Amino acid sequence: MRNQTFRSYFAYAILALAIASGCTKKKEEKNEVDPNAYLQVSDVQHKKFYFSRGAEDASSDNLIGAVPGFSQDFGVVEARVTESELQFIQVFVPNGRTATNQVIASYKITDHFDIQNDTNDFGEKTHKIVEDRKRPWDQRKYMRVDWATPTNNLSGFASSMVGVKGLEENTVLLETAKIEPGHISFLVETSVLGSRVTYRTHLTAAKPSDYKPIAYSLKDFEKFGYFYTQQNFEDMEKGLRDDGIKRFAETFNVCEASGAGSCATNKITWVLSKDFPEFYKDETKRAIAEWNKVFQEALGRTDTVVDLDTTVQADISDSRRNVINMFMHEVSFKGLLGVAQGIKDPETGEVIS
């Protein structure tokens, strides 16, 4: 009888422990944060970015010369977060004047908030993850930005082909902004002088580089190429002088195998744009192979200098990548064979993409 009673007590004890452990089991966290794209303030505040905008589509009869693949390079900017705006400030002015701190583009901040576990009436943390706005705005870790329309007009779409700059109207954000480590992009459609234009803005984190600028004279450029970055440094007393003009060749950071730094092993990788026609891929591969041979011979290298990564398909204006684009639709400016524009470092001439 005593053993039976002991077994009964033991069974009740095990059952009580099971019930207690079930009651204290931690609940799975429930994320109640609005999924709309948001930024961590520390990822952008006082960080430097290459800022560019590229046309991805445009009405064939547009009046501003917008051609898919055409892009605007706004140079290097520094992000500044205020209570109401995310501002991008020009950090280098090629003419050498002190007119820096110019806001190249700014976008409305719609919310500042923290993300944390909610608390119950007893001040205990719960399993719910929520947005919180108790702290002052400048101490909150996250923010949401309205990327549709800049709050200033300095970043308005312009075409260098015809020199027209028009007011953007009826602008809409076509997709949620893509926020990735070191990169932000967003696609909008707008009307400029009555013409429809779809463009994507890219903000790519500026990274340290060991690139060595190559200074050429105009006579050198007549021999070696057209593309260069020019800086006009004005003397405060005498104005612009010939010795204040610097011209740097726009080149990739590749060099001879004997060169110092990463340029001796760097390579130039190309990717294809989205919806690139299958029919042209083999010819594109052959063209890349020929480019590689030329670079190998010129630099005296035996490793791959130029290659094609077919595993990636990119937006035609992606500032992180060298994109070969085939646009099959009708465009304005009859006779145009192609568009070759890139993102360069305004201080050195290094080609970023």
The model's pLDDT over 187-219, given as tens digits with 9 standing for 90+, comes to: 988 887 777 888 889 999 998 899 898 888 777
Per the listing, tokens 């300095």 go with 154
Beta strand segments in the chain, E:
30-31, 39-40, 48-58, 71-81, 85-90, 103-119, 125-132, 142-146, 158-159, 164-165, 168-173, 178-180, 183-192, 195-205, 228-235, 239-249, 268-273, 306-314, 322-324
> Structural domain boundaries of the chain?
34-214+251-324
- What are the pLDDT digits (tens) for 99-109? 557 888 899 99
Question: How deeply is 93 buried, as exposed, middle or buried, from its count of CB atoms within 10 A (0-12, 13-18, 19+)?
Answer: middle
Identify any residues that bridge with 230 across adjacent strands, giving them in sequence order. 247
Task: Tell me how far apart the alpha carbons of residues 323 and 344 are, in angstroms, rounded to a whole number.
Answer: 15
Query: With 90 as the cut, is the pLDDT of residue 291 above it?
Result: yes
- Which residues make Cβ contacts (< 8 Å) with residue 217, sequence separation at least 6? 247
Where is pLDDT greater, at 318 or 157? 318
pLDDT band at 23 (very low <50, low <70, confident <90, very high): low
Query: What's the pTM?
Result: 0.81
pLDDT for 139 beyond 90: yes
User: What is the mean pLDDT of the segment spanning 17-22?
Assistant: 53
State the Cα–Cα distance between residues 276 and 263, nearest whole angstrom: 30
- pLDDT surpasses 80 at 227: no
Q: What is the pLDDT of residue 273?
A: 87
**Sign of the CA dihedral with 304 first, then 308, 314, and 317 last:** positive
Q: At 261, is the secondary structure helix, strand, or coil?
A: coil
**Which percentage of the chain shows pLDDT scores above 70?**
75
Give the mean pLDDT of 326-336. Answer: 60
Distance CA 334, CA 332 (A): 6
Condensed to tens digits (0 to 9), the pLDDT of residues 295-309 reads 999 999 999 999 999
Residue 338: pLDDT over 80? no
| pLDDT confidence of residue 314 | 87
Q: What is the DSSP string of 217-248?
A: -HHHHHHH-S-EEEEEEEETTTEEEEEEEEEE
| Region 13-33 average pLDDT | 62
